[in-house]
Amino acid sequence: MNIEAKLGLDVFKISAEPHITINQEICQTECQVRYCLYVCPANLYTMKKGEVKVEVEGEGEVQVDYEGCLECGTCLIACSHDALTWRYPGAGYGIQYRFG
């Protein structure tokens, strides 16, 4: 069974309140390289200008689709300028791993 099939078994219970937030001011002024765009194993971080995804780093804002978060904390470790606020989702929310 490959990794995509294993992850496909997982279930997400989505909270209305995001558990990851980005301080855009810090992100845009302090971050030379936005490591969060590259390290997230779920590939949740993108650069967007309005609603349009942009391919060039530095144009637009970093956006996170927290709904698919694997709750590994990699993004928090990679963000060297403390632009991310990360916490576990509230009780009963988040990912439920189903591979056993």
Instruction: Kindly indicate the confidence band of residue 50, based on its pLDDT and cuts at 50, 70 and 90.
Output: confident
To which H or E segment does residue 61 belong? strand 61-64
To which H or E segment does residue 27 belong? helix 24-30
- Quote the pTM value: 0.83
Query: What domains, with CATH codes, occur in the chain?
Result: 3-91 (3.30.70.20)
Residue 1 has pLDDT above 80, yes or no: no
Mean pLDDT of all residues belonging to the chain: 88
Closest CA to 69 of 37, 46, 41, 28: 41
